[in-house]
Each structure stands twice: as structure tokens, then as C-alpha cells.
Amino acid sequence: MKKELTEIASSVREAVASISGSPKAGEVVGKGVDGAPSYNADAVAEQAAKRKIDELGLGLNILSEESPYVDNKSGQTIVLDPLDGSHNLIRGIPFYSVSIAIGSRSLSGVQYGLVMNLVTGDTFYAEKGKGAFRNDELIHVKKFSEKDSLFFVYMGANASNNAYDISRKSGMVRSLGSAALEMCQVAMGKADLFYLRSVDNAHALRIVDIAASTLILREAGGEVFDMTGNLLDMNFDINDRKSLIAVGDKSLRRLAL
């Protein structure tokens, strides 16, 4: 399945390359299935992904950020975020990705996951039970060291007050605008933690945002928890939203409590 997922991701990369940072990329062309504005960049990315999925003849159901659920009567579903980090692409900030997962029913049922950095082409991939890879090289999380720690913490108007408290527990803090890519940095040991806790459920993450990166991080030795400290699981439902803490060293679970 890696070949097929890579082809889908590469088609998205090719499609959005020419519009990054352009006024055209930020044109509002409609609404996603959750009612949020859909930008031209999102539409271009999704159209490219779906064209390639059709070409490959996979016959799987499709759950995507931008359009209604496609029920192909399959036991497996493609969980697709065609452009994670839309605002980065629109502004010409070089940090955005495509996220593709395949599985059944819920996050715990994801079998394959791929995240591609659409700027560099770096590709993160995992198959359940077989480890996680970046550009075909095995990756693994790192042991937490407070002296050399780096956290990704979502900040801004919709962030919980807890975000500031968490940020003060690390020597360095970043927020780069693509949850999938930030979680992959944790998976490869470049960072220790990704934390997103929103003020309300309407601004939390959806399954399409993190289905692939959760599998990648877990296969790299890390873990993803909800805000009660339980293992994160989410339904294959675009309306299911959760705040989360994704860690390399599982001892950092305590920060979610």
C-alpha cells in the first residue's frame, strides 16, 4: 500500500506547487463538510488526491476534510486530509503536508499511514506492527531530557489556558501549523511533544488531521493520549473532534492530566 499512498501524496504535491503563496491559493471557494471555509488550495489538493485514488481503482470508502463521505461499500476507508497547514501554503510559509490513512471504523483500526511534507517531499510512512519510516529509513522517538527539550504547543485565540502552562515546562517551544508534520517530528526524535488543547470541542482536531501521524508516532515508539490521559481513539467521523497530547517518551503522559 505504500506505493499507492505515495502516488496519491505526490499528485497533491505537484498540484499545489504552483499556487503556494499566491493570491489564488487563498480564495474562498466554498465550505468543507464541517462548515469551515474551504480555500482554493484545499480544493486543488483534494481534487488531485481523488483523481489519483480513482486512477488507482482502490475501491475504498473515502473520508475527507473537504467533501462528503464516499461510501464504496468497502470494509476499509481512506482517511484524507489533502492539505494540512492550508494557511501556511496560502501565506507562502514552507510547512504543510498531505495526510493519508487507511483503516476501519476508528483510529485504533488504522493499518497504514503516510504523511508527506509537500515542500520538501520528505515522506513518513507506517504499517501497523512494522515500524515507522522517513524516506525509507527507520525512525524512533527519543528519551525525554528536560535540558534539551522541545515541545510543539498550539497557541492562539482558540487555545486553552493550559497551553501556556505546558509551554513553560520545556526549554524550547514551537507552533508550526501542521499537526500531522509536527507529530512526525516527535516520531523521529526531533521534538518531544505535540500538545493541542482547545477552548472548546469545535476547535479541536479531527480524525482526518491525525489518523496517519498517530499510527506513525505509535509505530516509532511514542503514544497519543486524550486530555484524561487515556489512549486516544476517534471514530471515522468528520464531526468527532478531540484535544490531544502526542509524546515521544511515554513518561510525558503526566502532562495531559
Residues making up the binding site for Mg(2+): 65, 81, 83-84, 209
The confidence score (pLDDT) of residue 158 equals 92
User: Rounded distance, CA 47 to CA 217, Å?
Assistant: 28
Q: What average pLDDT does range 67-90 have in this prediction? A: 96
- Alpha helical stretches, state H, 30-161: 40-56, 86-91
Contact 40, 26 (CB under 8 A): yes
Contact 70, 60 (CB under 8 A): no
User: Based on the domain organization, do 100 and 169 belong to the same domain?
Assistant: no
Residues making up the binding site: 65, 81, 83-84, 209
Mean residue pLDDT across the chain: 95
State the CATH number of the domain containing residue 28: 3.30.540.10
Contact 80, 208 (CB under 8 A): yes
Among 21-25, 31-35, 117-121, the range of highest mean pLDDT: 117-121
State the CATH number of the domain containing residue 175: 3.40.190.80
User: Rounded distance, CA 15 to CA 128, Å?
Assistant: 29
- Report the predicted TM-score, pTM, of the whole model to 2 decimal places: 0.96
By residue range, what is the domain housing residue 72? 2-139
Pairing of strands 172-174, 193-196: unpaired
Residue 239, judged by CB atoms within 10 A of its CB (0-12, 13-18, 19+), counts as exposed
Q: Could you give the number of structural domains in the chain? A: 2
- pLDDT exceeds 90 at position 256: no
Among the three residues 139, 167, 202, which one is the final residue of a domain in this structure?
139
The confidence score (pLDDT) of residue 255 equals 85
User: Based on the domain organization, do 84 and 206 belong to the same domain?
Assistant: no
